[in-house]
Amino acid sequence: MQSPQVTAAKAKVGVKYTVRKFVRSGNRLVAYGTATARYIPVSGAPTVTRKPFKATVTVRGRHFAAVQTICPVLELTLGPLDLSLLGAIVHLDKVHLVISADSEGGVLGKLLCNLAKQGKLGAQTQQLNWSLQKSGLATNGTALTVSVGPSSSDAGSSAPNALTPSVICDVLDLTLAPTDLNLLGLLVHLDQVHLTITADSEGGVLGSLLCSLAGGGTG
């Protein structure tokens, strides 16, 4: 009897955005957070790099019907991001995050809907920061993870290709579908994201590894 085919494990790359806090700046709201990239090999310890970000927030929801149950709260747009992981270069195009509240969906939704109707920025800032902690957005954040490279069995059976100095290799080009989270009535929507990963053969051990598995590069 033929044994079932087993799919070998693959390494993964994950990117996570965490919004640590909102700060009022005049009549504006500013978000401070951290973007984290993580390379997770099939075996061994992961490689992690972090980059702080600062972005102006567009506050929504000051004009809508009193009986409306889904209340727009804010929009956050983060510019293109590049993170380097020992020679692996993770690039994300513009990221657009929309937060709404469902007044009937949970304690956070009810609270933020009430605040949005009041339109008081000071109170909104304080409660939004509380909501970041309560919902886990300040710690767990919004994350995406993709598989990269050949399977572990393929990697072990092939020798690295000879590379010329400073080769840039294409590893992954992927468009990820929009994602939605419901956190106690706090509705988080992340628009479609375009993710590319390249590797610099001379940039570090991970770049060299991914380039050898990719079989060369663009030169």
What are 204-213's pLDDT values in tens digits?
A: 989 998 888 7
* Predicted model pTM: 0.75
* pLDDT at residue 137, as a whole number: 87
- Answer for the pair 99, 74: CB distance below 8 angstroms, yes or no: yes
Q: pLDDT category, 42, cuts 50, 70, 90? A: confident
Joined tokens for residue 195: 């993710």
Residue 93: is it exposed, middle or buried by C-beta count within 10 angstroms (0-12/13-18/19+)? middle
| 97-144 pLDDT, tens digit each | 999 999 888 889 988 888 777 666 777 788 889 888 988 888 888 888
